Amino acid sequence: MQNKEFTLSGKHQKNIVGDVTFQENSQPKALVIFCHGYKGFKDWGAWHLIANAFAEAGFFFVKFNFSHNGIGSENSTEFSDLEAFGMDNFSKQLDDLNSVIQFFEGENEFSSEIDFSKLSLIGHSRGGGIAVINANEDARVKKLITWAGVSDFGNRFPKGKKLEQWKKDGVYHIVNGRTKQKMPHYIQFYEDFLDNQKRFHIKTAVEQLQIPYLVMHGTHDETVNVEEAEILFDHSTTSKIKWIANANHVFAMKHPWEKSSLPLEAKVLVKESITFLKK
């Protein structure tokens, strides 16, 4: 099993750091690119074990940090660049994903191991929304999976007095439940959304999808309501839906993950995803 890191120059003055997991045999393998969610990062929890599972099943698995996710260069699991986090937005994330796709489409050190014609995207939580939009816009993507994916970006912004205060102050903070850090969101995040509302409308993107799409969601998701999975499924003519019994938003994983195997819910998640991609 090979695991190697790569660094790309992003379009927004920040590097995109990622890693690849695969069995090195010079046999072209279907490419899977994973997008993490809000307050997420590529080295969170047990994502590495999930990468291993996909590689063992014969895939070339890629996970990466969005350039403005707040993870600094000193430590791959700590939010040490909160200024970058505050300047993140959906446009930057879509640009980052496109940069990653372009890298693996072109000549690179991994080219002999990749069958780029079999490109699939997987997105978790907010990363699911990013993956949906990209898959709708990019004909290079052949299959799509969302894990606990969101169905709407707009309804997650502050409303009423909180929104007015955000506009007045230019920034609002959210407390990270795990690290207890006060993480900033500058008003540019909301302004970018307003400027691109049509593009960022997930339900419209899902309706326009022409590729196989698997919606996966835990029945006990405490963060993204199960109704959002039903919305994604109902708005697509190419989708299937799989429920993971008793699973929460992160499929029974946590950070840090110190065990050598995945919890049952995550094993089911991976098994169903691999079965879908191999069809």
The reported pLDDT for the residue numbered 119 is: 98
CA-to-CA distance for 111 and 38, rounded, in angstroms? Answer: 30
Q: Is residue 175 part of a domain?
A: no
Q: What is the pLDDT of residues 113-150, one digit of tens each?
A: 999 999 999 999 999 999 999 999 999 999 999 999 99
Averaged pLDDT of the chain: 97
The reported pLDDT for the residue numbered 241 is: 98
Amino acid occupying residue 161: K
Q: Is residue 170 part of a domain?
A: no
Tell me whether residue 1 is exposed, middle or buried, using C-beta atoms within 10 angstroms of its C-beta: 0 to 12, 13 to 18, 19 or more: exposed
Q: 20: domain range? A: 2-155+197-278
Tell me the mean pLDDT in the region 207-228. 98
CA-to-CA distance for 222 and 93, rounded, in angstroms? Answer: 24
The reported pLDDT for the residue numbered 240 is: 98
Provide the CATH number for the domain around residue 270: 3.40.50.1820
Q: Is residue 133 part of a domain?
A: yes
CA-to-CA distance for 102 and 48, rounded, in angstroms? Answer: 23
The reported pLDDT for the residue numbered 74 is: 84
Whether the per-residue pLDDT at 20 is higher than 90: the answer is yes
Say if CB 248 and CB 218 are below 8 A apart.
Answer: yes
For the chain, how long is the longest CA-to-CA vector? 58
Which residues are paired to 111 by β-bridges?
none
Q: Is residue 264 part of a domain?
A: yes
Q: Is residue 134 part of a domain?
A: yes
Q: Is 147 helix (H, G, I), strand (E, B) or coil?
A: strand
Q: Is residue 115 part of a domain?
A: yes
Q: What is the pLDDT of residues 145-171, one digit of tens each?
A: 999 999 999 999 999 999 999 999 999
CA-to-CA distance for 258 and 46, rounded, in angstroms? Answer: 8
Whether the per-residue pLDDT at 244 is higher than 90: the answer is yes
Say if CB 103 and CB 8 are below 8 A apart.
Answer: yes
Q: Is residue 168 part of a domain?
A: no
Amino acid occupying residue 269: L
The reported pLDDT for the residue numbered 191 is: 98
The reported pLDDT for the residue numbered 73 is: 85
Query: What's the pTM?
Result: 0.98
The reported pLDDT for the residue numbered 90 is: 98
Percent of the chain topping pLDDT 90: 99
Calculate helix-pair angle for 47-56, 264-278, nearest 10 degrees: 40
Q: What is the pLDDT of residues 60-105, one digit of tens each?
A: 999 999 999 999 988 999 999 999 999 999 999 999 999 999 999 9
The reported pLDDT for the residue numbered 190 is: 98
Total of domains in the chain:
1
Q: Is residue 191 part of a domain?
A: no
